[in-house]
Amino acid sequence: MNASVIRNGRVITASDDFTADVLMQGGVVRAIGLQLEVGPEVAEFDATGLYVLPGGVDTHVHMENVIGPTITCDTFASGTRAAAFGGTTTVVDFALQTAEDSVLGAIARAQRSAEPQVNIDYSLHCIVTHVDKPVLADVRHAMRHEGVSSFKMFMAYPGVMMADDAAIFRMLRQVGADGGMVALHAENGTVIDLLIQEALEAGHTSPRYHALTRPALMEGEATHRGIRLAELAEAPIYFVHVSSNQALKHIVAARDEGIPVFAETCPHYLLFDDAVYDNDDFETAKYVMTPPLRKPEDQKHLWRALRYDDLQVVATDHCPFCMKEGHLGYRLQKQRGKDDFSLIPNGAPGIETRMVSLFDIGVVQGRLSLNRFVQLTATTPAKLFGLFPKKGTIAVGSDADIVLFDPDATQTIHAHTLHSQCDYTLLEGHTLRGRVEKVFLRGQLIVDGPQWLGREGMGRFVPRGTVQAF
């Protein structure tokens, strides 16, 4: 059985920080200790001066997702390779229930696309848009037999993805009782659609109006409503892409009341604010994601929540669409909305820069401890979505998904040196502290500096268990 040992690195988990050797064998961590004795057949990696981190777990990514009339521009192959270069070894993507695809059909279809392509381990949430008795039976089956224990629902996009409150409540009640998680996109969809119509009627077509028609107050309203539904259902709930204090204040209050509310934010809400929308340039379409970027004041609250555990996860919502028409053959992506902001596909890339950007603005700039950084990027997402302790930590018996990270190196980010197929990054030209040096997936070296040693199809579907939040 092939084995390797990482020597002398500073091993950092959500709770510990020590210098030791880590022996990887048969895909798992076999031993952790001082000066481990191993045979000559064991490959050695010197990690002196490096952090030894659990592989990142990114529980919010969109590869090959059909969103409205277009598709995200990373395949499972390109997106998971980009993730690996950024220090992420497990992603949770989405299967979409549609009129044509049942919940189980959608999961099977996403798996068929992913299996031959994935370079790292993956799982799936299922997006549920329509709820009735047969759907609920499928949802139960998916949890018990398919390893899919989380379901995303939308309070936005009426007529497309939006589920009404009763549908959300039914899902919360059943999924919660079965030990799973409903993840909610919280925005008041019907009011937002009215604001969009009014903006267009007034002749406002540029990307800035995307932000102006999706007010934080309507994120807050929907978040509050989602919490009350979860409270009535006696179920845990998870809010994706929390961007504003309007949403956060309801989450904080609910947690204080003892309601099991969990939430993520994304690096872009911490890195940028709504000043980017102060123009009518189409370049601003790069920042058209949902929810939009908010005020510097909101960022202060997001950081406070990250520090005090009112936000538990930093995930990317990697949802890439190209800016240039025809890039790699992708047509009518962001350009679809050239004359109508409401047609710009909502999303931005970020899968490869999550770990390093959060390390820089969080740890280097003194806002997060190293343990908290690991907890937010690996351990808690793994726990909330039933992947722990296989994923999300470095412990004897856990998968040997390990990142060697240089905390002193710096790098300047450019889209052309990243591995996503997207033709831009929001971090273009930014210099960040920290660099992923090596990445091991189940003990196999897949990233070695700039070199790619992985293989498409080597990633595995990870069947997930129940929520481990308590």
Taking CB under 5 A as the rule, does residue 173 contact Zn ion?
A: no
Taking CB under 6 A as the rule, does residue 317 contact ligand DUC?
A: yes
Q: Which residue, 62 or 81, is less far from Zn ion as judged by CB? A: 62
Report the nearest approach of Zn ion to the CB of residue 166 (Å).
20
Contact range with Zn ion by CB under 5 A, out of 85-93, 313-321, 373-381, 429-437: 313-321
Taking CB under 5 A as the rule, does residue 219 contact Zn ion?
A: no
Which residues, including other chains, have CB under 8 Å from residue 28's CB and lie 6 or more apart? 396, 397, 398, 399, 400, 442, 443
Q: Which residue, 14 or 266, is less far from ligand DUC as judged by CB? A: 266
Q: Could you tell which of Zn ion, ligand DUC, none binds residue 242, using a CB distance below 5 to 8 A set by kind?
A: none
3-class SS letters over the chain: CCEEEEEEEEEECCCCEEEEEEEEECCEEEEEECCCCCCCCCEEEECCCCEEEECEEECCECCCCEECCEECCCCHHHHHHHHHHCCEEEEEEEEECCCCCCHHHHHHHHHHHHCCCCCCEEEEEEECCCCCHHHHHHHHHHHHHCCCCEEEEECCCCCCCECCHHHHHHHHHHHHHCCCEEEEECCCHHHHHHHHHHHHHCCCCCCHHHHHCCCHHHHHHHHHHHHHHHHHHCCCEEECCCCCHHHHHHHHHHHHCCCCEEEEECHHHHHCCHHHHCCCCHHHHHHCCCCCCCCHHHHHHHHHHHHCCCCCEECCCECCCCCCCCHHHCCCCHHHHCCCHHHCCCCECCCCCHHHHHHHHHHHCCCCCHHHHHHHHHHHHHHHCCCCCCCCCCCCCCECCEEEEEEEEEEECCHHHCCCCCCCCCCCCCEEEEEEEEEEECCEEEEECCEECCCCCCCCECCCCCCCCC
Q: Which residue, 185 or 390, is less far from ligand DUC as judged by CB? A: 185
Taking CB under 5 A as the rule, does residue 317 contact Zn ion?
A: yes
From candidates 7, 241, 301, 336, binder to ligand DUC by CB under 6 A: 241
Within positions 154 to 213, which residues make up the interface with ligand DUC, using CB under 6 A? 185
Report the nearest approach of Zn ion to the CB of residue 412 (Å).
27
Q: Could you tell which of ligand DUC, Zn ion, none binds residue 284, using a CB distance below 5 to 8 A set by kind?
A: none
- The packing angle between helices 133-145 and 103-114, to 10°, is 40
Taking CB under 5 A as the rule, does residue 298 contact Zn ion?
A: no
Taking CB under 6 A as the rule, does residue 333 contact ligand DUC?
A: no
Q: Which residue, 317 or 352, is less far from Zn ion as judged by CB? A: 317
Q: Which residue, 219 or 274, is less far from ligand DUC as judged by CB? A: 219
From candidates 12, 240, 432, 467, binder to ligand DUC by CB under 6 A: 240
What residues does 122 pair with on adjacent strands? 91, 461
Chain-centroid distance, C-alpha 284: 23
Taking CB under 6 A as the rule, does residue 290 contact ligand DUC?
A: yes
Within positions 88 to 147, which residues make up the interface with Zn ion, using CB under 5 A? none
The residue sitting closest to Zn ion, measured at its beta carbon, is 185
Taking CB under 6 A as the rule, does residue 346 contact ligand DUC?
A: yes
Taking CB under 5 A as the rule, does residue 318 contact Zn ion?
A: no
Taking CB under 5 A as the rule, does residue 74 contact Zn ion?
A: no
Contact range with Zn ion by CB under 5 A, out of 99-107, 166-174, 181-189, 416-424: 181-189
Taking CB under 5 A as the rule, does residue 187 contact Zn ion?
A: no
Q: Which long-range contacts (CB under 8 A, 24 or more apart) does 282-285 make?
A: 282/206, 282/207, 282/338, 283/323, 284/206, 284/207, 284/208, 285/207, 285/323, 285/334, 285/337, 285/341, 285/344
Report the nearest approach of ligand DUC to the CB of residue 42 (Å).
43
Q: Which residue, 318 or 435, is less far from ligand DUC as judged by CB? A: 318
Total Cβ atoms within 10 A of residue 46: 12
Q: Could you tell which of Zn ion, ligand DUC, none binds residue 286, using a CB distance below 5 to 8 A set by kind?
A: none
Q: Are strands 313-314 and 261-265 parallel, antiparallel or unpaired?
A: parallel
Total residues contacting ligand DUC by CB under 6 A comes to 8
Q: Could you tell which of ligand DUC, Zn ion, none binds residue 370, using a CB distance below 5 to 8 A set by kind?
A: none
From candidates 81, 125, 170, 185, binder to Zn ion by CB under 5 A: 185
Taking CB under 6 A as the rule, does residue 221 contact ligand DUC?
A: no
Report the nearest approach of Zn ion to the CB of residue 12 (Å).
28
The 148-167 contact track toward Zn ion, x by CB under 5 A, reads: --------------------
Q: Could you tell which of ligand DUC, Zn ion, none binds residue 346, using a CB distance below 5 to 8 A set by kind?
A: ligand DUC
Report the nearest approach of Zn ion to the CB of residue 215 (Å).
16
Report the nearest approach of ligand DUC to the CB of residue 185 (Å).
5
Contact residues toward ligand DUC (CB under 6 A) are 185, 240-241, 290, 317, 319, 346-347
Q: Contact residues for Zn ion (CB under 5 A)?
A: 185, 317
